[in-house]
């Protein structure tokens, strides 16, 4: 989605530490509207302080921003309009490629050849969540890589709340399997369509705009050997019965978008509908769960 010449708003919050700023950024990235770009940097105006900075193409909800800031022990966000420029191109130029398990996530401005033995996935910054730079996305990619190394090979996979489509692309490239992906945000679906084509997996991935398993076409892609969902804990728990109805016995489920202190409640919710936790991965304050459908 082209943002050159669009109205861009900057939102910045002071933090006492890099850790607090990074935690806040992780939460803000899951808001709607989502930020176009984010950064954690030393606050040059206040010695010893850090800054959590975001750029938005739409006016963010100030109350939501400040509630998240307070939860992370950070100051209120200051929101202001900034000069017009092509922010997406600017971020693309500055964003470093990311290794995550078997995968090498890079933008169109970076060469895929650096991947070496890793599987390249080309994703440019956009208004959809999932460029590979967030710990939850990396956690999912690493757990998927671990599953593959243990000999797991799904024939049918799904990605619920796909954002940019990065996890659906990863599944299609890693296992050459049929993937069904969905998101309830039409903007994210539009971005994901382009990413599927850019990564040459559009023939393997069926993409649908719907909320969870609410669409008959989405459900018809299953039952699934593998389901991945990198969304927030509330929607994950709400969808637990739907995952149970659409994942095969013995199938795997990879869940993220979770803060570490939410893991216990999410795990218990899924255990109550027939899943068992078979592994987990922590990255900073974020948690990724691996579960198996046990009955």
pLDDT of the chain along its 295 residues, tens only? 333 344 667 788 888 877 788 788 888 888 887 887 777 776 655 555 788 888 887 888 888 988 998 988 888 888 887 655 554 555 555 556 788 889 988 877 665 555 567 899 988 765 445 555 678 899 999 999 999 999 999 999 999 999 889 999 999 999 999 999 999 888 788 889 999 999 999 999 999 999 889 888 888 888 999 999 998 888 899 999 999 999 999 999 999 988 888 899 999 999 999 999 999 999 888 899 999 998 6
Q: Which pLDDT belongs to residue 91?
A: 53
Looking at domain 8-90, does it have CATH number 3.30.70.260? yes
Encoded tokens for 10: 């900057």
- CATH of 97-293, picked from 3.40.50.300, 3.30.2130.10, 3.40.50.150, 1.10.3720.10, is 3.40.50.150
The domain limits of the chain are: 8-90, 97-293
For position 1, what pLDDT does the model report? Answer: 32
Contact 41, 125 (CB under 8 A): no
Closest C-alpha to 140, from 249, 295, 280, 294:
280
Look up tokens 């919050």; give the residue. 13
Q: Are 194 and 122 in contact (CB under 8 A)?
A: no
Give the global pTM. 0.72
d(CA 150, CA 112): 26
**Distances, alpha carbon 237 to alpha carbons 242, 247, 268, in Å:** 10, 15, 9
């Amino acid at each position: 989605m082209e943002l050159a010449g669009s109205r861009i708003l900057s939102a910045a919050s002071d933090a006492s530490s890099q850790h607090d700023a990074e935690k806040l950024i992780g939460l803000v990235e899951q808001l709607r509207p989502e930020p176009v770009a984010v950064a954690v940097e030393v606050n040059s105006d206040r010695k010893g302080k850090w800054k959590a900075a975001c750029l938005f193409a739409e006016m963010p909800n100030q109350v939501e921003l400040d509630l998240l800031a307070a939860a992370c022990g950070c100051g209120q966000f200051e929101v202001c309009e900034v000069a017009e420029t092509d922010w997406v191109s600017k971020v693309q130029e500055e964003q470093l490629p990311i290794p995550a398990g078997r995968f090498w996530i890079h933008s169109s401005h970076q060469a895929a050849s650096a991947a070496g033995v890793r599987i390249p996935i080309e994703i440019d910054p956009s208004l959809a969540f999932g460029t590979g730079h967030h710990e939850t996305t990396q956690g999912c990619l690493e757990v998927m890589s671990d599953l593959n190394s243990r000999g797991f090979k799904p024939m049918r996979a799904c990605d619920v709340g796909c954002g940019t489509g990065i996890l659906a692309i990863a599944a299609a490239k890693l296992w050459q399997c049929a993937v069904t992906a969905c998101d309830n945000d039409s903007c994210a679906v539009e971005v994901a369509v382009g990413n599927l084509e850019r990564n040459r997996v559009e023939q393997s991935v069926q993409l649908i705009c719907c909320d969870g398993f609410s669409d008959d076409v989405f459900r018809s892609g299953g039952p699934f050997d593998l389901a991945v969902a990198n969304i927030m804990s509330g929607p994950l728990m709400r969808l637990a019965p739907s995952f149970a109805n659409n994942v095969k016995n013995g199938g795997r489920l990879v869940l993220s978008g979770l803060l570490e202190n939410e893991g216990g409640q999410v795990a218990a919710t899924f255990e109550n509908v027939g899943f068992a936790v078979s592994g987990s991965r922590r990255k900073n304050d974020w948690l990724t769960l691996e579960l198996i459908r046990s009955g």
